[in-house]
Amino acid sequence: MNAQSRWYEQVGKYQFFTGKGGVGKTSLACATAILLADRGKKVLLVSTDPASNLAHVFGIDIGELEPTDIPGAPGLAALNIDPEAAAQAYRDRIVGPVRGELPPSVVAKMEEELSGACTTEIAAFDEFTTLLTNPETAARYDHIIFDTAPTGHTLRMLKLPSAWSDFLDANQTGASCLGPLAGLEKQRQQYHQAVDTLADGNRTMVVLVSRPQCAALAEAARTSSELSALGVSHQRLVVNGVMPESESDDPLAQAMRRRDAEALSRLPDGLRSLPTDYVELRAMNLVGIDVLRGLLVPSSKDFRRASKTVESSKIDAPTLADLVDAIEADGHGLVMVLGKGGVGKTTIAAAVAVELASRGHDVHLTTTDPAAHVAEAIASEVEHLQVSRIDPRAETERYRQHVLSTKGKDLDEAGRALLEEDLRSPCTEEIAVFQAFSKVIREGQHKFVVMDTAPTGHTLLLLDATGSYHRDIIRHSKDPAKITTPMMRLQDPAQTKMLIVALPETTPVLEAAALQEDLRRADIEPWAWVINASLAAAGPSDPLLVARAHSEVAQIAKVKTELAKRYAITPWLATEPVGPTALRALTHHAGATVTN
């Protein structure tokens, strides 16, 4: 199953790193880019993740419109495709030429129509396809490496070239959120070129990154299948964070190795034929040029072990059950679990839902994450608990049928054809998902609803759509005081409690803090933080795990004293927290002692 050469030995012009959130896509993408630059290649590293952390990894601000040269790695430049910046630039291109030429009311209407989440996504996607098709960019760099958003968002991004290309081919008149369709010949050609580039195995390779965990490997297999359906066949698998062998008799370390081995022995059929590489778990945070350079290039320094002796420390913090006590006090409400991909949002959401249900409350557990599988976390039926998923495809079809049966009911043949054409736009999905999201928010007025959200960037786009709807309703209402919008319910802590989930590591805590600031700018105050999968709370004795555990202490203190109004810690467990019994054990787990 292993390849004779590793993934960075077979890099084409374009290389995509994708996978479930938190599997290490950014670290591997950055390390690969540094290695290629060290070999004298000109490399552009691009983040398509709305919650990109390239700036933190390299310790410098990364450009959003022009690439930034990376100090210490000659030949390497990095670029963030920031959705909001791309959307503003897109709006300026569309609206700028008509300012002063058209009445202010017409210009204002154009800006309003281009203010939604759909425009934001399309603008970012436009930047993405430009990088795939721009001959000047292709001539400037030997390799362009994409550090992508978590799987669900990335698959949608990769599907959009085909979706918009097909839409533009089939619809030559009218308008969309891209602008008047008749003037989009350039985009049509660009999207066709993007589709061809993605499908060309000589130019494009996708690296499926996974942890040695069943859920992450299953996600990689689903992604591989969907990519193959898109014509993207040049794929490789990298299993990151494998617990190395050691002489330690630490039960936690042994459990990690057993879990890794078991997961890899049950590798999904769709992955078995792929060339596969393995990267061991490291003791330190993968931040900085030198550390990332050591991730792929062996040196005299042992990157797997900590050499210094550390003192024991006791982690004593509130449990998840303590937070549920306070949530339960209101008798109903929406609990939104947010965070970057891979931090364990699904597990925490499932644990909160199961705990509330075990106390006799009717609970609805749902998710907005295209790649989430909350039912798998529950693993069995639980009394008082309903489990669902906001499926973008199903919601889009439901929305289309509703519009056709209402607005399209009395239209003539030509009018209905135009309506059906409009509903074929990929933007229709954003509207449909927002409507389903709003329905769930309202449900929280009568019962407990626990929502496992998509990774940060995708969730912020959904909240942006909610904010746009709120502003539009208020602007057109004759009596705004009598209006209650979904955004107003999200802003009310008596109706909605936002739980931010983070891992106790430097980068995840910084990313969670940035998410908190994004929420505050929308007048949403996070209710609590959950520090998940803490080794410090699990009490390891293996040198590698002890080093990682002690690096957590400062981050836990930062959350406690600087960032969170209330918080809880859940430990890393020897067995995956799947099923009601394991989830309740996680919820009630107390702290542990870290020993050397």
Report how far residue 463's alpha carbon sits from residue 409's, in angstroms, rounded to the nearest whole number. 32
User: With contact defined as beta carbons under 8 Å apart, do 90 and 53 qualify?
Assistant: no
For residue 17, give the H/E element and its range.
strand 14-18
Give me the phi and psi of 571, to 5 degrees please: -85, 165
Report how far residue 127's alpha carbon sits from residue 407's, in angstroms, rounded to the nearest whole number. 34
Report long-range pairs for 220-228 (Cβ below 8 Å, ≥24 apart).
Answer: 220/19, 220/20, 220/268, 220/271, 221/268, 221/269, 221/270, 221/271, 222/151, 222/270, 222/371, 223/18, 223/19, 223/151, 223/155, 224/270, 224/271, 224/274, 225/270, 226/155, 227/155, 227/158
Report how far residue 310's alpha carbon sits from residue 460's, in angstroms, rounded to the nearest whole number. 40
> What are the catalytic residues?
22, 24-27, 49, 507
Burial of 138 (0-12, 13-18, 19+ CB in 10 A): middle
Give me the phi and psi of 481, to 5 degrees please: -65, -20
Report how far residue 339's alpha carbon sits from residue 342's, in angstroms, rounded to the nearest whole number. 8
Q: How distant is the alpha carbon of residue 355 from its chain centre?
A: 26
Report how far residue 253's alpha carbon sits from residue 540's, in angstroms, rounded to the nearest whole number. 8
Token pair 């069943």 in the structure block, residue: 214
DSSP string, 116-163: SHHHHHHHHHHHHHHHHH-HHHHHH-SEEEEEPPPHHHHHHHHHHHHH
Classify residue 480 by its DSSP letter. G
User: With contact defined as beta carbons under 8 Å apart, do 320 and 587 qualify?
Assistant: yes
Those residues whose C-beta lies under 8 Å from the C-beta of residue 389, and which sit 6 or more positions away, are 366, 367, 372, 374, 375
User: With contact defined as beta carbons under 8 Å apart, do 259 and 266 qualify?
Assistant: no
User: With contact defined as beta carbons under 8 Å apart, do 147 and 52 qualify?
Assistant: yes
